[in-house]
Chains A and B, each alone.
Chain A
Amino acid sequence: SAVISQKPSRDICQRGTSLTIQCQVDSQVTMMFWYRQQPGQSLTLIATANQGSEATYESGFVIDKFPISRPNLTFSTLTVSNMSPEDSSIYLCSGRGQGRYNEQFFGPGTRLTVL
């Protein structure tokens, strides 16, 4: 199984600033994703991180607000731009492996609080 690390694990930010979250996978994965989990809710897919090209965003999420990079197979970043209190959430990086069941694993998450 893939091991996924994220940093920072948590942060408290001021309104209007931006935060970049880093995600590192310990082995090659076929796909990488970014999810958001708001308090008491389930996971919502933000976008698919594509290696060397623009990410594919889900409805309700745009590149200007959530720019994503994936320069190689095992690393990706998500930036939360021009933050507001509504962006307070847990952001999770996820990777789909090459195992028998195409298992999808999750990083430990970044807990973001925007004041």
Chain B
Amino acid sequence: GQNIDQPTEMTATEGAIVQINCTYQTSGFNGLFWYQQHAGEAPTFLSYNVLDGLEEKGRFSSFLSRSKGYSYLLLKELQMKDSASYLCAVIHDYKLSFGAGTTVTVRA
């Protein structure tokens, strides 16, 4: 079966940095996505990693180590609007499987 683990909840202060870790064990690997999902809304695409290393996109960065089955999403200069669920998802075969999601709460 597929196993994608990430922490359930994280809390941080406005302006701070938060790192959300994701470990995976899947049958095959063709890339890893991070999505943001606000309550009551559809997931929105944040990043995609297929090679090892860091991908930076504004305040958000994502890192991948395929040998370790590990990724993280780094959120910098946190804003209140960043309070949301962050989903780690792995493409294996042709399908996208999701972790349970990490709820990030940003406090003033």
By size class, the interface of chain A is 20 to 34
A1 touches B99 (CB 8 A): no
B94 touches A109 (CB 8 A): no
Alpha-carbon distance between A45 and B90 when the two chains are bound, in angstroms: 12
Whether a CB of chain B sits under 8 angstroms from the CB of A92 is yes
| Stretch in A62-70, A77-85, A100-108 touching the partner | A100-108
Alpha-carbon distance between A57 and B89 when the two chains are bound, in angstroms: 19
A92 touches B42 (CB 8 A): yes
Smallest distance from the beta carbon of A91 to chain B beta carbons, Å? 11
Contact with A along B4-46 (1 / 0, CB 8 A): 0000000000000000000000000001010100000111110
Alpha-carbon distance between A109 and B100 when the two chains are bound, in angstroms: 18
CB closest chain-B residue, reference A111: B40
B94 touches A43 (CB 8 A): no
B33 touches A45 (CB 8 A): no
Q: Is the interface of A mostly helix, strand, loop or mixed?
A: strand
Chain A residues within 8 Å of B43, by CB? 43, 92, 106
One of B42, B87, B95 near A109 (C-beta < 8 A):
B42
Chain A residues within 8 Å of B31, by CB? 101-102
Chain B residues within 8 Å of A43, by CB? 43, 87, 89, 98
A108 touches B101 (CB 8 A): no
B45 touches A104 (CB 8 A): yes
Smallest distance from the beta carbon of B46 to chain A beta carbons, Å? 10
Whether a CB of chain A sits under 8 angstroms from the CB of B96 is yes
Q: Spell out B's residues near A (CB within 8 Å).
A: 31, 33, 35, 41-45, 48, 50, 87, 89, 91, 94-101
Q: Spell out A's residues near B (CB within 8 Å).
A: 1, 31, 33, 41-45, 48, 58, 92, 94, 96, 101-109
List, sorted by A's number, 20 A–B pairs whose CB atoms are closer than 8 Å: A33-B95, A42-B87, A42-B101, A43-B43, A43-B89, A45-B96, A45-B97, A96-B96, A101-B31, A101-B48, A101-B50, A102-B48, A102-B91, A103-B48, A104-B33, A104-B45, A104-B96, A105-B45, A106-B43, A109-B42
